[in-house]
């Protein structure tokens, strides 16, 4: 197996650069190139169609007013179904930013090729089954090669995962539990997400039953519980904290946060923080309830084999009530959209023994950022990669398959995100 070397032509290769999200990752890499090692970043685009990749480069050159991108940035042709092409791609880069999803269908050959050819792999997967399975099956192989495979480095799940670490660092004492609430604010143009995310989410929900079996295979011991138990939330509930209705978050955040907390407990003896991740119903333009109902219908049909992939791909607008579309959001819609993720934490004040009595101190923190799917996600993904390149000494000692919190707990990723518009702040103690 090859190991990572610094003599490769590219620091970063964006695989799936022609996808809806990939095109914005390309722009973000171009904007952040001065943050690479020694102040410059050598990078390339990769994907299965040279023609489409050229189109993305042209578009980025025009949008960013950087005509030099057309001539200076190389293109690598690679297809998930052709292992040789993935190997050749991985041998040329230090970090592969994998934007090819759904990851349950296309992700594994990329993880494998990265490990076998010594390239670190950063993805924006929001599918817990894939993320956990990669950890189960590839962690020790990645460790042996010194390769870091860091999944869910987009809006799913960097804000939730790093937000808990930030809250814990700001808390004066021992933080034991956190409940976080996501709010999406849309402007007059409205907002939506691209069909790629819908496909990933819907197959994930349909297969959520397989997670329990997968988790048994890890053979984990239960994590210690300190402080009051976290409130169990129903599928729709009224939250006094935010004075609104909310529903549980259906993405990868809870799984990712749990993995990070386990890593920090088992590897660094840090008391785990228990968490509830929820979505604030009111601010998602009021139609989330209808979307949720339709999601459940699709999932039910898929579980019974009645909704075939092709049908589901044809009608994302219908099934999601327009929240997911084939075209994705316009740039204008993206400009008008932002998110805030608010963390309500509780624990024991400094000097108090967390094993005695009830929690007696609270904290409220927040992350505020631009449009989550295609502005915040490229920022988070690119800053994750830049952290891997610039701060290898602060990553876990060996390679492996990690969640963002496990990989980046000791790095300056939060400061980097703050400088790029994902602003972490303490609202009140
Ligand atoms: N974490 C987050 O918050 C977040 C945010 C946004 C997106 N995502 C995830 O990112 C993924 C992509 O979403 P998207 O909306 O960008 O989807 P998309 O527009 O459909 O893009 C998919 C990309 O995969 C490429 N691809 C498909 N099959 C391939 C193959 N056999 N070999 C090589 N490339 C192949 C496509 O290439 P062609 O252009 O040649 O078809 C395209 O570049 C999804 O899993 C989504 O859930 C996550």
Q: What is the pLDDT of residues 50-102, one digit of tens each?
A: 999 999 999 999 999 999 999 999 999 999 999 999 999 999 999 999 999 99
Give which of 224, 228, 229 is closest to 262, Cα–Cα: 224
Domain CATH code at residue 184? 3.30.360
Residue 383 and residue 95 in contact, taking contact as beta carbons nearer than 8 Å: no
Residue 404 lies in a domain: yes
| pLDDT tier at 7, thresholds 50, 70, 90 | confident
Beta-sheet pairing, 244-248 with 148-150:
unpaired
Three-state secondary structure of 38-87 = HHCCCEEEEECCHHHHHHHHHHHHHHHCCCCHHHHCEEEECCCCCHHHHH
Evaluate if residue 238 carries a pLDDT over 90.
no
Verify that 406 and 422 share a domain, yes or no. no
H-type helices in 83-178, by residue range?
83-91, 103-117, 128-145, 158-170
Verify that 137 and 40 share a domain, yes or no. yes
Q: Which of 20, 101, 104 has most ligand 1 atoms within 8 Å of CB, for mutation?
A: 101
Which atom of ligand 1 is least distant from the CA of 153?
1
Q: Looking at residue 2, what is its pLDDT?
A: 61
326/285: higher pLDDT: 326
- What does the pLDDT average to over 425-429? 89
Which atom of ligand 1 is least distant from the CA of 252?
1
Evaluate if residue 286 carries a pLDDT over 50.
no
Q: Give the integer Cα–Cα distance in Å for 103 and 123.
A: 9
Verify that 228 and 273 share a domain, yes or no. yes
Verify that 139 and 176 share a domain, yes or no. no
pTM for this model (two decimals): 0.92
Verify that 54 and 189 share a domain, yes or no. no
* Overall domain count for the chain: 2
| pLDDT tier at 38, thresholds 50, 70, 90 | confident
Domain CATH code at residue 128? 3.40.50.720
Task: Tell me the CA end-to-end span of the chain in Å, nearest whole number.
Answer: 50
Residue 174 lies in a domain: yes
Verify that 209 and 303 share a domain, yes or no. yes
Residue 2 lies in a domain: no
Output the average pLDDT for the chain.
89
Nearest CA, atom 31, ligand 1? 80
Q: Looking at residue 315, what is its pLDDT?
A: 63
Q: Give the SS3 label for residue 198.
A: helix
Residue 221 lies in a domain: yes
- Return the minimum-mean-pLDDT range out of 66-75, 242-251, 253-262: 242-251
Verify that 119 and 194 share a domain, yes or no. no
Residue 176 lies in a domain: yes
Verify that 233 and 342 share a domain, yes or no. yes
By residue range, what is the domain housing residue 251? Answer: 158-374+418-428
Residue 13 and residue 43 in contact, taking contact as beta carbons nearer than 8 Å: yes
Other C-beta atoms closer than 10 Å to the C-beta of 382 total 30
Verify that 256 and 209 share a domain, yes or no. yes
Verify that 81 and 108 share a domain, yes or no. yes
Q: Which of 25, 83, 90, 99 has most ligand 1 atoms within 8 Å of CB, for mutation?
A: 99
Give which of 67, 60, 165 is closest to 378, Cα–Cα: 60
Residue 100 and residue 52 in contact, taking contact as beta carbons nearer than 8 Å: no
Residue 156 and residue 397 in contact, taking contact as beta carbons nearer than 8 Å: no
Inter-axis angle of helices 377-390 and 158-170, nearest 10: 60
36: left (phi over 0), alpha (psi -120 to 50) or beta: beta
In percent, the amount of the chain with pLDDT more than 70 equals: 89
Verify that 236 and 370 share a domain, yes or no. yes
Q: Spell out the residues 6+ positions from residue 32 whose beta carbon is closer than 8 angstroms to its own.
A: 41, 382, 383, 386, 420
Q: Ligand 1 pocket: which residues have CB below 6 Å?
A: 16, 18-22, 47-49, 52, 79-81, 99-103, 106, 124, 126, 154-156, 194, 196-197, 200, 373, 377
What six digits make up the tokens of 398? 């060996």
Residue 57 lies in a domain: yes
Verify that 184 and 214 share a domain, yes or no. yes
Residue 4 lies in a domain: no
Residue 3 lies in a domain: no
Q: Give the integer Cα–Cα distance in Å for 129 and 132.
A: 5
Task: Compute the radius of gyration of the chain from its Cα atoms.
Answer: 21
- What does the pLDDT average to over 249-258? 90
Q: Looking at residue 306, what is its pLDDT?
A: 43
Distance 215 CA to ligand 1 centre (A): 27
Which atom of ligand 1 is least distant from the CA of 48?
33
């Amino acid at each position: 197996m090859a190991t990572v070397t610094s003599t490769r032509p590219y620091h970063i290769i964006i695989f799936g650069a022609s996808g809806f999200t990939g095109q914005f990752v390309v722009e973000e890499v171009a904007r952040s190139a001065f943050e690479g090692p020694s102040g410059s970043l050598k990078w390339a685009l990769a994907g299965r169609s040279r023609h489409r990749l050229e189109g993305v480069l042209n578009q980025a050159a025009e949008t960013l007013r950087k005509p030099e991108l057309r001539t200076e940035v190389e293109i690598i042709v690679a297809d998930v179904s052709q292992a040789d092409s993935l190997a050749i791609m991985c041998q040329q880069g230090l970090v592969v930013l994998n934007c090819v999803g759904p990851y349950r269908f296309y992700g594994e050959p990329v993880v494998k090729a990265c490990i076998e050819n010594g390239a670190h792999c950063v993805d924006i997967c929001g599918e817990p089954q894939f993320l956990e399975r990669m950890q189960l099956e590839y962690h020790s192989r990645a460790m042996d090669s010194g390769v870091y495979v860091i999944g869910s480095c987009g809006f799913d799940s960097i804000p939730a995962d790093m937000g808990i670490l930030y809250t814990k660092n700001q808390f004066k004492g021992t933080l034991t539990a956190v409940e976080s609430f996501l709010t999406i604010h849309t402007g007059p143009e409205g907002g939506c997400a691209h069909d790629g995310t819908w496909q990933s989410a819907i197959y994930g929900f349909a297969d959520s039953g397989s997670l329990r079996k997968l988790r048994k295979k890890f053979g984990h011991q239960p994590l210690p519980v300190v402080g009051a138990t976290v409130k169990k939330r129903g599928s729709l509930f009224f939250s006094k904290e935010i004075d609104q209705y909310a529903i549980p978050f259906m993405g990868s955040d809870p799984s990712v946060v749990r993995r990070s907390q386990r890593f920090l407990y088992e590897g660094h003896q840090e008391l785990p923080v228990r968490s509830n991740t929820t979505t604030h119903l009111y601010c998602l333009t009021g139609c989330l309830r209808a979307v949720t109902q339709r999601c459940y219908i699709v999932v039910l049909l898929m579980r019974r084999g009645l909704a075939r992939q092709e049908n589901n791909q044809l009608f994302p607008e219908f099934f999601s009530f327009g929240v997911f579309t084939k075209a994705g959001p316009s740039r204008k819609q993206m400009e008008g959209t932002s998110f805030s993720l608010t963390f309500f934490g509780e624990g024991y004040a400094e000097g108090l023994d967390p094993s005695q009595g009830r929690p007696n101190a609270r904290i409220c923190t927040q992350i505020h950022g631009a449009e989550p799917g295609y502005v915040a996600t490229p920022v988070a993904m690119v800053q994750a990669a830049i952290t891997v390149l610039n701060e290898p000494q602060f990553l876990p000692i060996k390679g492996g398959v990690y969640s963002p919190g496990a990989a980046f707990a000791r790095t300056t990723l939060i400061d980097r995100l703050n400088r790029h518009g994902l602003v972490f702040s303490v609202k009140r103690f």
